[in-house]
Amino acid sequence: MANYAGHMSKRLTGREQEVWHAWKRAAEMVRMRVGADITAATGLSDGDFGVLTRLVDLGEGTLRQNELAESMGWHRSRLSHHLTRMEARGMVKRHSVDAGVQVRITAAGERAAAASRPAHAAAVRRHLLDLIPSEDRASLVQLLETIASGPDS
Partner DNA sequence: AAAGATTGAAGGTTCAATCTTA
Partner DNA sequence: TAAGATTGAACCTTCAATCTTT
Q: What is the DSSP string of the chain?
A: ---TTS---SS--HHHHHHHHHHHHHHHHHHHHHHHHHHHHHS--HHHHHHHHHHHHHHTTEEEHHHHHHHHT--HHHHHHHHHHHHHTTSEEEEEETTEEEEEE-HHHHHHHHHHHHHHHHHHHHHTGGGS-GGGHHHHHHHHHHHHH-TT-
Judged by CB under 7 A, the chain residues 17 through 36 that form the site for DNA are 31-32, 35-36
75 binds DNA (CB under 7 A): yes
- Determine, following the binding rule CB under 7 A, whether residue 104 of this chain makes contact with DNA: no
Judged by beta carbon distances under 5 to 8 A according to partner kind, the member of a copy of itself, DNA, none in contact with residue 111 is none
Q: Does 64 bind DNA (CB under 7 A)?
A: yes
CA–chain centroid gap for 9, Å, is: 33
Residue 92 touching DNA (CB under 7 A): no
76 binds DNA (CB under 7 A): yes
From the list a copy of itself, DNA, none, pick the one residue 27 interacts with, judged by a Cβ distance below 5 to 8 Å according to partner type.
Answer: a copy of itself
Residues 11, 77, 95, 99: which binds a copy of itself (CB under 8 A)?
A: 11
Site for DNA, rule CB under 7 A: 31-32, 35-36, 39-40, 45, 47-48, 64-66, 69, 74-78, 80-85, 94, 98-101
